[in-house]
Chains A and B, each alone.
Chain A
Amino acid sequence: MKELKILAVVVFFTLLTYWGVEPYAHSVMHKHVESKDFKYEDLKPLKKRGDAKRGAETFVNAGCTGCHGVQAANIPAPMDPISAAASFGVNPPDLSNAGALYDEKFLAALIKNPAHALKVEHKFTEGRQHPMPGFYGVGGDMEQEVADIVAYLKSISKNIEEITPKMAFEDACGRCHAVHYEKWTQIGEKPKFKHEKDELLFDAKVLDYQDYLTKYMGKLPPDLSMYIRSRGEHYISTFMEDPQALLPGTSMPRVGVNKEAAEKVVEYLQDSGDLKRDERDSVGVIVMFYLFVFAFLAYLWKQSIWKELH
Chain B
Amino acid sequence: MAQFEKANSLHEWLDQRLAIDTLERVLAKEYWIPKNINFLWAMGMVLAFTFGILLVSGIFLLMYYQPNVKLAFDSVNYTIMREVEFGWLWRHVHAVAASVVFLIIYIHMFTGIYYGSYKKGREMIWISGMLLFVTFSAEAFSGYMLPWGQMSYWAGMVITNLFSVGSLELNGLVEWIRGDYVPGQAFLDRFFMLHVLLLPLAILGLIGLHFGALRIPHVNNQDGEEIDFEAEAAKYKAGNKKEAKVIAFKPDFLSKDMFVLSVFLIFFFYLVFWHYSFAMDPINFDPADPMKTPPHIYPEWYFLWSYEILRPFPKDPGLVAFGIAQVIFFLIPFLDRSPNVAPAVRRGKFNIWFWVMLVDVIVLTVMGKLPPEGIFSTIGLVATVVFFALWISLPFITKNEKAV
Contacts and interface: CB of A to CB of B under 8 A. Distances in A.
A49 interface: no
Nearest to A288: B269
B249 to A, nearest CB: 12
Interface in A271-303: 273, 275-276, 279-281, 283-284, 287-288, 291-292, 294-295, 298-299, 301-302
- The B interface is mostly helix, strand or loop, or mixed, namely helix
A190 to B, nearest CB: 14
A20 B35 contact: no
A201 interface: no
Interface stretch (A62-70, A106-114, A225-233): A225-233
Interface stretch (B279-287, B319-327, B393-401): B279-287
Contacts of A309: 35, 241-242, 247, 252
Given A13-B362, A284-B273, A310 B242 contact: yes
A259 B194 CA distance: 48
Contacts of B273: 280-281, 283-284, 287-288
B255 A301 contact: yes
Interface stretch (A21-29, A36-44, A92-100, A165-173): A21-29
Interface string B142-180: 000000000000000000000000000000000000000
Contacts of B358: 13
Contacts of B284: 230
B256 A25 contact: no
Interface stretch (A2-10, A72-80, A116-124, A145-153): A2-10
Interface stretch (B11-19, B257-265, B310-318, B381-389): B257-265
A181 B251 contact: no
A306 B252 contact: yes
Interface string B119-139: 000000000000000000000
Contacts of B283: 230
B88 A276 contact: yes
A14 interface: yes
B369 A230 contact: no
Given A20-B365, A294-B262, A273 B285 contact: yes
A38 to B, nearest CB: 24
Contacts of B3: none
Contacts of B77: 181, 225-226, 229, 273
Given A17-B301, A309-B35, A25 B78 contact: no
A18 interface: yes
Nearest to A7: B39
A301 B255 CA distance: 6
Interface string B83-117: 00010110010000000000100010000000000
B137 to A, nearest CB: 17
Contact of B366 (A21, A281, A305, A308): A21
Contacts of A231: 282
Given A21-B301, A291-B269, A308-B241, A301 B258 contact: yes
Interface string B218-259: 000000000000000000000001100001000110011011
B204 interface: no
B341 interface: no
A181 B78 contact: yes
B371 interface: yes
B268 to A, nearest CB: 9
A266 to B, nearest CB: 16
A294 B268 CA distance: 14
A302 B266 CA distance: 17
B304 interface: yes
Contacts of A288: 266, 269-270, 273
A295 B35 CA distance: 22
Interface string B61-97: 0000000000000000110011000101100100000
A306 B259 CA distance: 12
Contacts of A275: 81-82
A92 B358 CA distance: 60
Contact of A301 (B88, B259, B301): B259
Contact of A17 (B86, B262, B362): B362
B368 to A, nearest CB: 8
B262 A230 contact: no
Contacts of B263: 295
A25 B107 contact: no
Contact of B369 (A14, A25, A225, A273): A25
B48 interface: no
A99 B224 CA distance: 76
Contacts of B274: 284
B356 interface: no
Contacts of B181: none
Contacts of B107: 10
B96 to A, nearest CB: 12
B49 interface: no
Contacts of B6: none
B369 A20 contact: yes
B104 to A, nearest CB: 10
A280 B266 CA distance: 16
Contacts of A308: 241-242
B269 A284 contact: yes
A230 B286 contact: yes
B78 to A, nearest CB: 6
For B107, B247, B366, the residue with the greatest tally of chain A CB atoms inside 10 Å of its CB is B366
Closest 3 CB pairs of A and B: A284-B273, A20-B366, A230-B285
15 contacts: A6-B40, A16-B362, A20-B369, A21-B278, A21-B301, A29-B370, A226-B77, A226-B286, A280-B92, A283-B273, A291-B265, A301-B255, A302-B258, A306-B256, A309-B35
